[in-house]
Chain A
Amino acid sequence: MTVGIQYRDLISYLRTLESAVLNQLYKHPATCLAIFRRLPPLARQYVIRLLHIRQAVPQAVINSWYDPEAARDHTSSEDALLSLRLWHETTLPGGLPGWQLNPTFQEMLRQALAGGGDPWIVYGELDKDKHGRDTKFLDQYAQERWDCVLHYMVGSEVNSESGISQDAVRILLHSGLMKKEDDSPNSKNLITMEGFQFLLMDTEDQVWYFILQYLSTVETRGVSLVDCLQFIFQLSFLTLGKDYSIKGVSENLLVFLQHLREFGLVYQRKRKSGRFYPTRLAIGLASGLKELQATKDEQGYIIVETNYRVYAYTDSPLQVALLSLFCELLYRFPNLLVAVLTRESVRQALKGGITSNQITHFLKSRSHRVVLEREEGIIPMTVTDQLRLWELERDRFKFGESVLYSQFQTTGDFEMLRNYARDIGVLKYENPQKRFLVVSKSGDAEVRQFWKRHKKDYD
């Protein structure tokens, strides 16, 4: 699907960076750790075994480590290590080809594992915080802050103190999640179709996407991308519910920290308090911990019935707006919303680039606890199937480049060329009455050549 937002995970994002930037990134243990954890298991094993060897190792030796049946895993591991520049090919003194780990990466990962080197900037000594915060508070805080951004996007009324800053708005506009209504300076910001898709994603995916968008604008503020990334990676290896010092953090990064604070990735009681607490949003960012959310006792509220009715026990304007993306709203009560999935409402959503998978995932991940244990599945099979069918019916056409041959002089010419095209399997369509045929683009050259040769013979 061409419409819709491109979601990239950590590794694919890093692959887009230039090698100079990558090498800069590897100068911090946190980055190396984050990348190490995202490698395939076999690649991780290779790195661990090579970690304490400070010279190139013959490729033949590494080839003897894996089972011949796992050759595919080996190749993909090799590629992963190579594409992230974690190791490179060298020639050993004897002329044998060898692999050598990226020395910076190796040293930093070794430090992260066994110690040594300079402490991370947030490890500064702190006296006990008399306003210590517990995990529950931090979770609630992070959720509130993040919901604020989402509320702003759907344009639900928010009170002045929980509004979001100009910077955040700029990122939303920059990323195409929202757009200006018109060109006048006071125009309202409206959510785009991409924005709605964004809303349907899981929280941690949303945060990662948002941060990526933020990072792409970061250079224009005069903050180095590498510093920001390193800081984010450090955050993701910290402990929830513990306070950290900002003593050694540079001016630029402090600005960055304030932004993170605004989105709920870190908590600070006061701007000048000298300490901060990372929240689940920050810790889940790069550590690859997907089920962070699962531990939270977030209440599901949606029940889907076999008659396509959707009951949502919610009063949040955000949730209502999300449901109205693909449901037709029927009734609204103080704490309950009744909606129905119709062909029109779903098609409307599909046209906007939302996929049926996204819809089912949304409904599933927010379903009420009474349906979680239902035997026939959280969402009735009829509904999921119908959603899929509604999606497929938009895909009836398949577009492919082709070439039209027409205006044949005689039926003989036509039939000869048609037979040839059919024999080599490139004929797409023929109409003997009007004497034209359609050949796929790939077969065009061959058919044309055949025609020319035939013409020559004929002439």
Chain B
Amino acid sequence: MGSQIQPEEEDEVSELLAVVLDTSFNSALIKEKNVGQLLDAVVIFSNAHLMNSSKNTLAVVACHPHTAKMIYPVKKDSIQNIRPPDAQMEILAHATQVIRDGIKEVVTSWQGVYSIEPLLTGGMALALCYIAKRMANTVGKLNGRILVLSSSGESAHQYLNFMNVFFAAQRKAIVVDSCVIQNDCGLLQQGADITGGNYLKAPSIAGLLEYLLWVFLPPKSLRAKLVLPKPDVVDYRTACFCHRNLIEVGYVCSVCLSIFCQFAPICSTCQTHFKFIGFKQSMVKKKEQKSLQAPLL
């Protein structure tokens, strides 16, 4: 007894990792035929999480332009029917099989074009709900975290949804990590900053698994003991409500705090009329400088 190898108390907490996978890959990935490699990396990473401790659990959500779907765990594929053909651990073989089938199902059910944004926020909300449900049903402590894996770059159209998800996660102390491939996503970076997660841009697919295992596998308690990449300056630009452009300086409605990239006399959100004494050039300029043109955050 009393051996120093005994796992420490903090390790006894169960970890639930929800991987939110963007399956609408960007065109560069598809052109270079790297998608298979990316999926392999995701599966191995998920398995590594399950392997780490018998208390760890996993959820995988696939986000496609038309749907966000929970692909692991699912009810219909029972572990009872799996007989691993090689030396892989049973539960991992099962997870691998289910995740692969799930991705295939989601991807083949979409006939549209790929230039449309995937429903990332929908997937994240799904993952959040699942984690919250599991937390409520678990006796003892359960640490939940989300890893978003995306290659489709900025998705300013879902700005409000993103923020709702991030603040909900922050309230529940759920860490939202993001790993983006090739294209930066400022919103995910903000999310990682808000919830205390890590944000990393993987420059290529080849080293993706290495990055995942290094930065995103360790639970929160272990991260403090590791040297991890320092976060860059967080891009805190917001999307305007009128054109969904990311802006640094814009117009803010003094009543409902909606943000616009162009001046509008009537706020489109709360219908407030901004009254002016005439439209003299000088007045507008003055007004802009004084109250409407407020730097954000």
Contacts and interface: CB of A to CB of B under 8 A. Distances in A.
A289 B12 CA distance: 9
B7 A38 contact: yes
A393 interface: no
A289 B54 contact: yes
B213 A117 contact: no
B109 interface: no
Interface string B1-30: 101111110011000000000000000000
Interface residues of A, dominant DSSP = helix
B189 to A, nearest CB: 23
B4 A80 contact: yes
B290 interface: no
A39 B51 CA distance: 12
Interface in A227-247: 237-239, 241-242
- Specify which of B1, B54, B83, B218 lies most central, judged by the most chain A CB atoms within 10 Å of its CB: B54
B108 interface: no
A64 interface: yes
B224 interface: yes
A36 B50 CA distance: 12
B226 to A, nearest CB: 6
Contacts of A112: 51, 87-89, 92
Nearest to B79: A239
- Specify which of B5, B6, B209, B217 lies most central, judged by the most chain A CB atoms within 10 Å of its CB: B5
Interface string B73-97: 0000001100111111111110010
A424 interface: no
A118 interface: yes
Given A37-B52, A113-B48, A125-B83, A42 B222 contact: yes
Interface residues of B, dominant DSSP = loop
Nearest to A290: B12
B7 A40 contact: yes
Interface string A15-37: 10000000000000110010011
B271 interface: no
A456 interface: no
A97 interface: no
Residues of A in contact with B, size category: 35 or more
A242 B213 contact: no
Interface string A63-84: 0111101100110100110000
A282 to B, nearest CB: 14
A14 to B, nearest CB: 10
B213 A116 contact: no
Given A44-B52, A65-B226, A66-B226, A239 B7 contact: no
Contacts of A374: none
Interface of A: 7-9, 11-12, 15, 29-30, 33, 36-42, 44-45, 48-49, 52, 64-67, 69-70, 73-74, 76, 79-80, 108, 111-120, 123-126, 237-239, 241-242, 287-291, 294
Given A45-B222, A49-B213, A111-B88, 9 more contacts: A40-B8, A41-B11, A42-B226, A48-B213, A67-B225, A70-B226, A113-B88, A115-B87, A120-B87
Closest CB pairs A-B (n = 5): A70-B225, A117-B87, A115-B88, A111-B87, A11-B5
19 contacts: A12-B1, A29-B88, A40-B7, A42-B225, A42-B226, A48-B217, A65-B227, A67-B224, A70-B224, A70-B226, A112-B51, A113-B48, A114-B88, A117-B86, A117-B87, A123-B83, A123-B84, A290-B12, A291-B140
Interface of B: 1, 3-8, 11-12, 44, 47-48, 51-55, 79-80, 83-93, 96, 139-140, 209-210, 213-214, 217-219, 221-222, 224-227
